[in-house]
Structures are given as structure tokens and as C-alpha cells.
Structure 1
């Protein structure tokens, strides 16, 4: 039997029955294979704690997204040491949670959690693509002696699913060759993205996605000047408003079936990244409520 421990509720909202909520917040604080700055296991707690300070009214949407109902799951106490066992646990819990009646938001933890999550989605959903926002391609077949490294997070999924990557600015030669061999992976490199960021580019990204979309967002997709609390802060990157513009259009035009946000590594004494991460999640909830809810029903 899985064990749980309490977590702060998102936004400090009263706990409610998950069946009555439309949005589910699930934390997977896995940290085993991170290779540079550590701390992703502390990410979910820091984000949820920061969310207590959010203003629940959203000025852009002229709405209170929280009214949709948000349920924060207790923290799943993942097994230690055996990453494959952890992935099995994540897959099982994810499979039992996902359906068209709820919108799940998974908070990591290292990017390896996406591997287990997508295994579950692959079993339950027949035709969907993955929108991958990241500084790194994460398509290595193996890294540091294991296929379950965070640098391999999207490799398994890429063998069966269409992957659209945005913001990439660090890729190994192995990954570049792999992408060239595949016809189901499209990469929007960061330097190209910055050269022509406009509505036409976003329309091109949308055309590359199927009607149903799962989103995986590594916080290092942002420019580290805005989001420094990541394991490997690559120069360049997307701005707050670029990310929001893309997410807004995806929610408007596609049926978003879930999202994970990973690799947030809190910096002691620096609180604005925690708040930014919480605000991003709340913006996502707002976009889901305004644009995507009817598409999921």
C-alpha cells in the first residue's frame, strides 16, 4: 500500500473531494539522477508553499480560476533508490488518476517522472502528441549507465508518440542524429524561436500537434534571468510572456489532457522563482478553465 504525507494545498485552498474538483495537483518529488545542481525533490513543496500568496483573481482572464475546484493530492512517498520501481509507482498512480473529467497537473521532481507518466497516458489515450518545452532535448538512449536518467526522459515516448520540442538550446550529437532519423520529432530550437517569435510561429507549432496534447515543461525552458532555480540554467531561453502566449494558444486550439512541470530546484533565500512557478501553474489552470474545459468533456 502506498504511503502519503500531507502537503500544503495549492493556493491555500480548502481541501475538497477530488471528484468535485476539475483540477488535480499531484506531486512526484523524485530526485535520483540529477547531474548538476541538486534540489528538485524540494520543488513541489516550495511551489505549493509559494502558491499561498497568489491573488486568486486573474486580471488577464477577468476570472477566478480557482472556482473550478482544485484538489491537491498528498505527497506520494516514492520508493528510494530503484528508479524503475519508482516509475512503476508513478505509472500506476497516474493511470488511476487520469480521465476526461479532471485536468491533472504533475509537479516534479526531476524530468524522469515524465517517463512513468507518459507510460500511463499511452495506455489510456490512443492519439495524442507531446509538447515538450525545455532547454534540453532529453532524447539520449542512455546516460551515466542508465536509460532512466533525466537526460533520457523523452526517449521512450519518442519511439511511439509525436514529440514537438520548443526552446531547445542544448543537444548532444547522438540526439541530433536520432532526431534526423525520426519523422515524428519536430524541434524548434531556441535561437530560431527568438528570431521569429510571432503568431505565425505559434500557428506552425499548433499545426505540428495532434488534437489531443500532453505538455511537459522543464522550468529551464525559461531564460535563467527570469527563472534561475533550475539544475542547468542554459543561456538564452523563453520569456514569461512567450511561454504564456504559446500555452494560451495551445489551450485555445487543442484538447490538453495533462501537464507536468519539472526540474524546479529552489534556491534558499530567493523566493521569486518559487512564486513564479506557482503563478505559472495558476495561469495554466486559468487557461484550462477558460479555453479547454469544454473540449475535455
Structure 2
């Protein structure tokens, strides 16, 4: 029987949809949590199908299926005692992308000051550039990027700030962004200049054939004992697993491969931030893509806190 003042146990389809039922917090107020979540409903920088602006809301709704703590088949409890807070969405101007980038960076800095592990729900992949600007004070920063595409293009369609360019802009601006490891690369459409520029800078580029040839070897090529920002482009996964994305590429990562990559990254490094981008829930009426995205976030957080980050 529910005691006086006790909160009801909501089913996934009821109640207010904050991420994993975390309390809603205002970044203008003073608070602290182990994990802070910030939505970035922005998709003005896409080159193909729109819809990523709807992802933060869809991920929050899907996350109601995955409210910690979690009890595994082995009896282990995960994320018990870990506090979560949902800081809502960045208030973005609809047609002012430069101002949008400034606000994203400002709000990301605010979130960093209030939590141990900030989680960002995009949005198209262009938002990772202003997010990384908020980590400019992190020494020797490494990025692990799960993605079908390199996203290191200098310009596309006369713009330098599309979802094809976030890591190029970040590498230019942030002297302490020392390395990027990109896993899952595939497709017919690569920019030769971008590939050459990434290789000259020493980035690690890992294609899907390499993953398929031996995941264990790929795991050994991930950073170790570094400060790592994780950026998960949902199109890194195979579209048979996640169809709801702007630019799907066949023959991508399986869910098991993606979680193995994220787990190895989290266990061996200090994770300073995490984003999930390019989910377009409008392109998947089943809702499966949003469920997969929300679960990837929760699985990664499990690994981060299991590792004691």
C-alpha cells in the first residue's frame, strides 16, 4: 500500500517524461548530481533527412523503460545510488545557428559545473562542435566517435558548420583535443580531403570491415587511461537495428559491437562527457530507434560507474 507522501511507481507510458524519471533541474539554480542530462533539439545542419530536433523528447520518453537501478541476471545491481538530473533543453533560436552554437556551449559549461558525467541528447552531429568547446579546459582530451561517417569535412555546400564538420572545427579550435578515434566507417561517399586531413593529424580511423575482421583487435586500438569524450552517432549502428536516422548506411555496427566498444572505452578511461546524436524518431514509427538510443546511453553510464569514474 502506498504510504502518505510516497511517489507512485509510474509505468513507462505514464507520468512526466524526464530522462529516466530524473528530477527536472534549472541550470540557473545551484544543484549537483552524478549524471546531468541536457537536450539539444537542433537539426538545421543536416544534409539529408531532417528530424533530429525531435530526438531529445523521444529519448526521454524511451528512457522511461530504463529507470535505474538495474538488476542483472547475475544478481549484480547497477547504477544504485547514482543520482541523475534532467536539465531540460537548450533554448535554441530557430534560424540563428551561430547564436545556437553559443548557447549550446554556454549551457554545456553550466551542466559540467553541476555533475560528474554530462550527457547530451542531440540533435544532429553539428552540435558536437559547440559541446566540445565546453570541454576546452580538459587536458589531453581524446574523442571516441561511433559513426558511419568521418565528420571531418572542411566545407559542405559552402558551410563550415554542417553535421559533416564538427570534429574539423573542434580540432582547429581546441589545442588540447589531441586525438580522435572513429569506429564504424563505411559507405560510398567519402571526402578524400577530409580523410587525408584526419590521417595527417594522426587520428585513428577504423572501418566496418576491420570491426568485422576482429572486434578484439579494434578494442585494443581504443584509447586507454585518457580523458575521453564519447560521441555516438546513431547511424554508426546498422539501419536494420536503428532505422530512424538521417543518413543510414548499410552493414553497420550490431548492438553487441556498439556496447562492447562503449564498455571498453568507459572501463579504460575517464569519461568526461557523452553525446548521442542523429536520431530521427520521425523516420521510425515503431519507436525502436529511440529505445535503442536510450538504452545505449544507460548501458554506457552503467559501464562508467562500474569503472568508478
Counterpart mapping for 1:54-65 below 5 A: 54=66, 56=68, 57-59=70-72, 62-65=76-79
Cα distance in 2 between the residues matched to 1:100 and 1:45: 22
**1:195, distance to aligned residue in structure 2 (A):** 1.1
Determine whether 1:193 maps to 2:211. Answer: yes
Counterpart mapping for 1:53-132 below 5 A: 53-54=65-66, 56=68, 57-59=70-72, 62-65=76-79, 67-99=81-113, 101-122=115-136, 124-132=137-145
Identify if the C-alpha distance between structure 1 residues 23 and 180 changes in structure 2 by more than 3 Å, giving closer, same or farther. closer
- Give the stretch that moved more between structures: 166-175 or 20-29: 166-175
Number of residue pairs the alignment of both structures matches: 282
Q: 2:8 — aligned with what?
A: none
**1:20, distance to aligned residue in structure 2 (A):** 4.1
The partner residue of 1:9 within 2, 18, 23 is 18
Q: Deviations over 1:215-264 (max 9, x none)?
A: 11100000111111110110111111111111111111100100111000
Q: CA RMSD in A?
A: 2.1
Identify if the C-alpha distance between structure 1 residues 187 and 60 changes in structure 2 by more than 3 Å, giving closer, same or farther. farther
Determine whether 1:45 maps to 2:57. Answer: yes
SS at match of 1:130: strand
SS at match of 1:73: strand
Identify if the C-alpha distance between structure 1 residues 60 and 167 changes in structure 2 by more than 3 Å, giving closer, same or farther. farther
**1:16, distance to aligned residue in structure 2 (A):** 6.5
**1:72, distance to aligned residue in structure 2 (A):** 0.6
Q: 2:222 — aligned with what?
A: 205
Cα distance in 2 between the residues matched to 1:100 and 1:250: 23
- Give the stretch that moved more between structures: 215-224 or 159-168: 159-168
Q: Does the Cα contact within 8 Å between 1:25 and 1:105 map onto a contact in 2? A: yes
